[in-house]
Structure formats: structure tokens, C-alpha cells
Amino acid sequence: MFHSSSYKKGVVINMNKVIFHIDVNSAFLSWEAVDRLKKASSLSASDEVIDLRDIPSAVGGDINRRHGVILAKSFPAKQYGIRTGEPTVSALKKCPNLTIVPPNHKLYEECSEAFVKILEEYSPCIEKVSVDEAFCDMTGTEELFGPPLQAANTIKDRIFKELGFTVNIGISTNKLLAKMASDFTKPNRVHTLYPSEIKEKMWGLPVGELFFVGKATVNKLHTLGIYTIGQLANTDVNILKSHLKKHGEMIYNFANGIDSSLISNDEVKNKGYGNSTTIAFDVEDEATAKTVLLSLAENVSARLRKDGQMANVVAVGIVDNNFRRTTHQKTLLSPTHNTNDIYNVVCQLFDNLWEGEPIRKLEIQTSKVISEDEEKQLDIFSFQNDLKKKKLDKAIDQIRNRFGNDAIQRASLLHGETTDKKG
């Protein structure tokens, strides 16, 4: 068992916790590869099936769509400099023989659930932060599964044996360090990053590899002569605060391995209708974020209409690339289940909430729902327009119910690839 200790004057770290961060290696690509191998095996195919993980390959948008992006890539593809989130067209220029497969989000959700189901056998406290990664609080489980390294290797090997894909597992005393450790050498590895190992394993890394240090922050730090995480950790925090305000203090703490956030497996209670999207790459521009929000608004609105419900309150949630979640909500003048009405409010909330941080997940939640049969106060100035919007929504719902969700789409959604999760 670990004990509390201080590795830097004035900084005391709680070393009694044991935290794992489990990250699926090239998740979407790996899940596609495993699924294709299983299908080929079940059909007793005579031709040899190529494992997507062994060739330059990627999961990405349609090459005929200018705005299609790479959602995941194989390790051979990475050698060509292909990056998650870059345009598919750009990736093909780097590697003309790149094999691109379309995303299958239903498959990814199934694989994610199977992955988490195994984790639940080892820890009572799991925080799923995206479809392909989760934190496990393994504190006090040594008597059951052995020391942390042994337990981590058991989990890693079991996931590969039973599900066919590999994971990296980072081990430490808090979420930040466990996450940093899981990003070390890949694939299929277990790494530790305890407070006593920070100087050796983390301080020599470029400062841009620290969480919540984006390109703009890297440039500012470079002007201060700070190029490594170690240099950041040993800089006077007041100097950082004078140039970067609260953000400077936060990354100073991170560089010193200080993270007080707790693992939470509490599910948000669904008091209405909600939808969320974990995005395969960090969203850093307003247009992309609002395209994702429109997709969510369409889903939520359609479900409200299907159940004959209208919402009085709309809320938006943002989870940044350091897993911090912020929310904002608004009470409507009158209840609605119209897509445009909900989306317009969502955009207002987003504009008030977002401060430019990279986005990993977006959420829409509605609450205080009432039956559409209940009396609604009519606005004489919008009554006719409301009737038109209601007829349009009804027509769209009928087309989708008969021919599928893809039968009719908004033009602005034709370029988006997201993973939806109903709430």
C-alpha cells in the first residue's frame, strides 16, 4: 500500500489511491478489424482476410465529401503522418494506398459496452469518459487481483483474449497521472506514473504533451523559455499566472502531478430527453461544434415528438479534452418539441458557455416535459409559423419512420461523423 509523501517542497500528494486509465488502441480501427475478422471466420472464407491493423488504414468520412475526416488510423498509417481529425483528402495525399472504411457507430457502442463490462468485474467504481476509455478506482483490490501491475496486465490480456483488441493501461494515484501513463509507448502496454516517477518519466516530455496545454499555450510558454513539462513544473507559479491567469496555475499543478478530481460513476438522472456525442477528435471551432449540436437537437426533438412530449427547459453540456464538464440551461417562454426552436436555444447556451477550450463531448438535455395535449399558451404573432413548423416536423418524422433516419438529412449534417448516445 502506498503512503502519503512529499516529493517537492510544499506539495503533498495523496498516494493511497490506485487509479487505472484504460484506453483502447486505435479504437474504431481496431473494432472494425476485429469485426471483419470474426465475420470472415464465421463464413469460413477461403481468401485470406487482411487485418486492418497491419496495413495503412483508417476509419474516415466519404472521400467524395470535402469535409470528411479521419476518425481513427492504424499504426502503419501513423507512420505516414496521418492524424486523427485531419481531412480524408489530406490523408490520401500522404498515403495514396490508404485503405479507408466508413464508420459504424452501432458496432463501436457494442464493443465499448463489452469492454466496460469486463472492467466492471474488477472495480466497483468506473468512470467512462468516452466510448474507448475509462478510469477505474482499483484502491483496495490487491487482495482480490494482486498488485496494480499484475491486475492491469490481467485486465489487458483478458480484453485481448475475449474481445480481440488491445488496450493501454496507465497506473497512478490520480486520474491525471494515470491518463498520462496510458499515453506512453503503444500498443498493448501497461505503464506506471507514480508521483515518485514524475521527474524521470514526465518532466523530460515536450510541454505540449501535458493535458490542457494546447497550441496557443505552447507558443506562450515558449516565449517564456519553457519547452518541457519539467521546466513548467519548476517555474514560479506567479509568473505563469501573470501571463496565463488561472490557466497558468492549473497547468503548473498538472506538471507537478497534482489533480484532485475524483472518479465518478454516477449517471446523470434523466428527467427529460437528452442526447450526447463523444467526438473522435478535439473540436476547436464553433462551426463544427454547432453542426454536432444540430444533430443532437434533431435526435432529441424527434424523440419528444414521438412520445407526444414538449420540453420547458433546455440545457447544454460541454466536456473538454481534460474531462471537465460545464453546463448551462434556459427555461423557455413556452414548451416545444420543434427542432429549430430547440436548436436556436442550444446555440445561445453554447455561445454563453464555451470559452474556446478543445471539446471532447457535447450534450443536450431537456427537462420539465409536458404532454403536447396539455394547454399551451399561444402567441398570436407566431401561431401561423408554429403550425407550419409542426407540419414540417411531422412530414420529416413520417419519412424517416418509413425509410430510415438517413432518408432525409439537413445539408449541414451531410459532412458530420459523430457517435450519439441517448440519455
Question: Based on the domain organization, do 99 and 188 belong to the same domain?
Answer: yes
Mark whether 13 and 93 lie in a shared domain. Answer: yes
Q: 212: domain CATH number?
A: 1.10.150.20
Q: For residue 2, what pLDDT is reported?
A: 35
CATH number, domain of 342, equals 3.30.1490.100
Domain region containing 95: 9-197
Same domain, 240 and 226: yes
CA distance 180 to 171: 9
Domain for residue 2, yes or no?
A: no
* Cα–Cα distance, 304 to 187 (Å, whole number): 43
Q: What are the pLDDT tens digits along the chain (423 aa)?
A: 333 333 444 444 456 899 999 999 999 999 999 999 988 877 665 567 789 999 999 998 766 554 577 888 999 999 999 988 788 888 999 999 999 998 888 899 899 999 999 999 999 899 988 788 999 999 999 999 999 999 999 999 999 999 999 999 999 999 999 999 999 999 999 999 999 999 999 999 999 999 878 888 899 999 999 999 999 999 999 999 999 988 899 999 999 999 988 887 654 444 578 888 878 778 888 888 898 898 899 889 888 888 888 898 999 999 887 777 888 888 888 888 888 889 999 999 998 888 888 898 899 999 888 887 654 444 444 434 555 555 555 555 554 455 444 444 454 444 444 444 444
330 closest CA partner among 310, 352, 298: 352
Residue 118 maps to a domain: yes
The CATH number that applies at residue 38 is 3.30.70.270
Asked if residue 232 and residue 112 are part of one domain, the reply reads no
Residues 187 and 313 in one domain: no
Angstrom distances, CA of residue 388 to CA of 118, 279, 312, 372: 50, 34, 20, 16
In a domain, 77, yes or no: yes
In a domain, 4, yes or no: no
Domain-embedded: residue 264: no
The residues annotated with a catalytic role in the active site are 133
Enumerate the β-bridge partners of residue 72: 59
Please state the domain count of the chain: 3
| Residue 214 cell numbers, joined | 494546447
Cβ count near 404 (within 10 Å): 9
- Please say which residue of 227, 255, 283 terminates a domain: 255
Q: What is the structure's pLDDT at 16?
A: 83
Per the domain annotation, does 1 fall within a domain?
no
pLDDT at 131: 84
| Host H or E run for residue 420 | strand 419-422
The pLDDT value given to residue 62 = 65
| Buried b or exposed e, range 361-375, using 16+ CB within 10 angstroms | bbbbbbbebeebeee
User: Are 176 and 298 within one domain?
Assistant: no
**Exposure of 71 in the CB half-sphere (CA atoms within 13 A):** 29
Structural domain contains residue 106? yes
Taking phi over 0 as left and psi of -120 to 50 as alpha, with beta for the rest, 28 belongs to alpha
Same domain, 384 and 294: yes
Instruction: Say yes or no: 328 and 222 in one domain.
Output: no
Task: Indicate the pTM of the whole model.
Answer: 0.66
My answer on whether 190 and 209 are in the same domain is: no
Residue 240, domain member (yes or no): yes
- 215 and 283 housed in the same domain: no
- Whether residue 193 is found in the same domain as residue 295: no
Residues 59 and 189 in one domain: yes
CB 253 within 8 A of CB 395: no
Reported as half-sphere exposure (CB side, CA atoms, 13 A), residue 23 has a value of: 21
